Structure 1
Amino acid sequence: MNSSITVCGESVLLHPIIDLAVKAGDAILTIYEKPTENWGMQSKSDDSPLTKADLAANAVICERLKSLHSFPIMSEETKAPSYDERSAWSAYWCVDPLDGTKEFIKRNGEFTVNIALMQAVDDSNPAYGARPVLGVVYAPVLKKIYFAASGVGAYMKTLESDAAEIKCLEFSESDENLVLVCSRSHLDERTQKYLDGFKNATTKSMGSSLKFMLVASGEAHIYPRMAPTMEWDTAASQIVVEEAGGRVLHADTNKPLRYNKEELRNPYFYVFGKMTV
């Protein structure tokens, strides 16, 4: 991807991607507001749920992205190309049209539309992996839009309000009274053990990418994830957290998550606010 795109094109693309996320959210809400028997619920090969809302949002997003730019698209609801093909990509879109389908089914409103623009870490060798350089996370029921681009900062707006910059909380891991985020649908023994290691910590439960947004917006300090996720689950959220001053780190290597790997499943990871030593 050439420098004209990496330096200024990301912020220019933010507005159409925000508009697109809202349109995808509208498609989701059209189905969300119908009786559950009209949702077309089924199970995918990995036993994760799928509804008409997932497919409707995916269709809206993919159609618009194709007309917006020639970058390839990787979406949860579309079969990923082979690694041989993907490893040559210098830039692409990474999409989760409905992150938090379980929350959608529970009707708790804690689901999002996630759209990220990805760039190869090393343009001369795209096979080294990619990183997010633009991200939009939209919660249709909550009417909240989180967005960021490299070097631009992270922001949140609602459908009725202007954008305001968001920042992570500054803290030390040894501090007391930290706020930690856990999944509403995936709290496991390893995560509970990690949570128990903090003094007087409080926890917040949340679904989908909204867990990342709690850290990015300064409402929580840490989100540990010790359960399976895929690249499209985290890409848009990662750039929002990073631009807000936080980090999304591999649980074993302590390095930022990388994308467009041969295996699209993420390692376990931690989302930290602005942590000091």
Structure 2
Amino acid sequence: MNYSDFVPVARRLALEAGEKIMEIYNSDDFDVKVKSDDSPVTEADEAADALISAGLRDAFPDVVLVTEEQAASHSEKADTFLIVDPLDGTKEFVHRRGDFTVNIAFVEDGVPTRGVVYAPAKGRLFYNLPEGQAVEEEIFIGRDKHTVEDEGQKCPITVRKSDNEALIVVASKSHRDQATDDYINKYAVKDSKSAGSSLKFCLVATGEADLYPRVGRTMEWDTAAGHAVLQGAGGKVVRFDDHSPLTYGKDGYANPFFIAYAPGVELKPA
């Protein structure tokens, strides 16, 4: 698989999944179930997963696919693989707060090299072009009968030049805790934002924030696509404990705590 093949397929599937998700989101009611780890799952998660998985397996049958909603895939091991969270931010979806995303990424040798993040309720689409540059594309779906095949203007995005005396920090909307606040308080913060799902990576990637610390549990499917986008915008993602690069393909696909940031930020110790 080459990047020129992956990017248009992942973009199209993310947009199609977003359309399906929004149909359910805008309905009068939808079913919410609880998984074994006590996290919620909805019919939107399952419908988006079925659509994306079928599309990726059809396009790239020889590449390992890991997806949140298929537990059997969590035991797969490969140096190169696709990883999907069909609806990241299910709590935001359930409470109709809009901060949820579709995440599709391609990982090579522990590094997410290309990714797509789509926030359908916000009409924001971020991804890496085949050559690696991160862009945000203007979305027309639903307007004047535009379809997912109608591409909008692509604007290159890049991290901001950080002022360490006046940083903008973004943190989780649903999972913020005292440990997160204690770490943020080590910095000179001008402004603090809250966002759900992988949108936090994208806010750093677009220069809307400087720093996103995550002192809490995440899985690789939560972060890989946003990580790739941020990397393509000049940003970095490192482990919280020793500031070494965050890698992928770990046992069980569980992440350690991490920090996503613009490289001008002077990181504080854990």
Normalised by the length of structure 1, the TM-score is: 0.87
SS of alignment partner, residue 65 of structure 1? helix
- Per the alignment, residue 214 of structure 1 pairs with 203
Cα distance in 2 for residues equivalent to 1:90 and 1:194: 33
Q: In the alignment, which of 2, 20, 31 is matched to residue 27 of structure 1? A: 20
The answer as to 2:35 corresponding to 1:51 is no
1:187-198 counterparts in 2 under 5 A?
187-198=176-187
Asked if 2 retains the 8 angstrom alpha-carbon contact of 1:149 and 1:240, the reply is: no
1:51-130 counterparts in 2 under 5 A?
51-70=42-61, 71-81=63-73, 83=75, 86-87=76-77, 89-119=78-108, 121=109, 130=110
The answer as to 2:255 corresponding to 1:275 is no
Identity %: 39
Cα distance in 1 for residues equivalent to 2:264 and 2:241: 17
The answer as to 2:171 corresponding to 1:182 is yes
Residue type at the aligned position of 1:194: Y
- Per the alignment, residue 163 of structure 1 pairs with 154
Cα distance in 1 for residues equivalent to 2:106 and 2:96: 29
- Per the alignment, residue 147 of structure 1 pairs with 127
SS of alignment partner, residue 53 of structure 2? helix
- 1:213-242 CA-to-partner distances (Å, cap 9, x unmatched) read 100000000000001000100001111111
Distance 1:248 1:82, change over 3 A: closer
- 1:221-275 CA-to-partner distances (Å, cap 9, x unmatched) read 0000001000100001111111100101011121221111113210000001132
Asked if 1 retains the 8 angstrom alpha-carbon contact of 2:74 and 2:252, the reply is: no
Structure 1 residue runs of 5 or longer lacking an equivalent are: 122-129
Q: In the alignment, which of 7, 19, 33 is matched to residue 14 of structure 1? A: 7
Asked if 1 retains the 8 angstrom alpha-carbon contact of 2:136 and 2:155, the reply is: yes
- 1:54-81 CA-to-partner distances (Å, cap 9, x unmatched) read 0000000011111101212100000144
Cα distance in 2 for residues equivalent to 1:216 and 1:93: 22
Cα distance in 2 for residues equivalent to 1:150 and 1:256: 23
Residue type at the aligned position of 1:231: E
Cα distance in 1 for residues equivalent to 2:50 and 2:245: 31
Structure 2 residue runs of 5 or longer lacking an equivalent are: 141-151
Distance 1:90 1:200, change over 3 A: closer
Q: Point out 4+ residue stretches in structure 1 off by more than 3 angstroms.
A: 80-83
Cα distance in 2 for residues equivalent to 1:237 and 1:257: 13
Cα distance in 2 for residues equivalent to 1:267 and 1:21: 26
SS of alignment partner, residue 263 of structure 1? helix
Cα distance in 1 for residues equivalent to 2:66 and 2:74: 11
Distance 1:248 1:104, change over 3 A: same
Cα distance in 1 for residues equivalent to 2:19 and 2:136: 19
SS of alignment partner, residue 236 of structure 1? helix
Distance 1:193 1:276, change over 3 A: closer
Residue type at the aligned position of 2:36: S
RMSD: 1.6
Asked if 2 retains the 8 angstrom alpha-carbon contact of 1:149 and 1:239, the reply is: no
Asked if 1 retains the 8 angstrom alpha-carbon contact of 2:102 and 2:118, the reply is: yes
Report the alpha carbon displacement of residue 40 of structure 1 after superposing the two structures with TM: 1.2
Residue type at the aligned position of 1:165: P
Normalised by the length of structure 2, the TM-score is: 0.90
Asked if 2 retains the 8 angstrom alpha-carbon contact of 1:150 and 1:239, the reply is: no
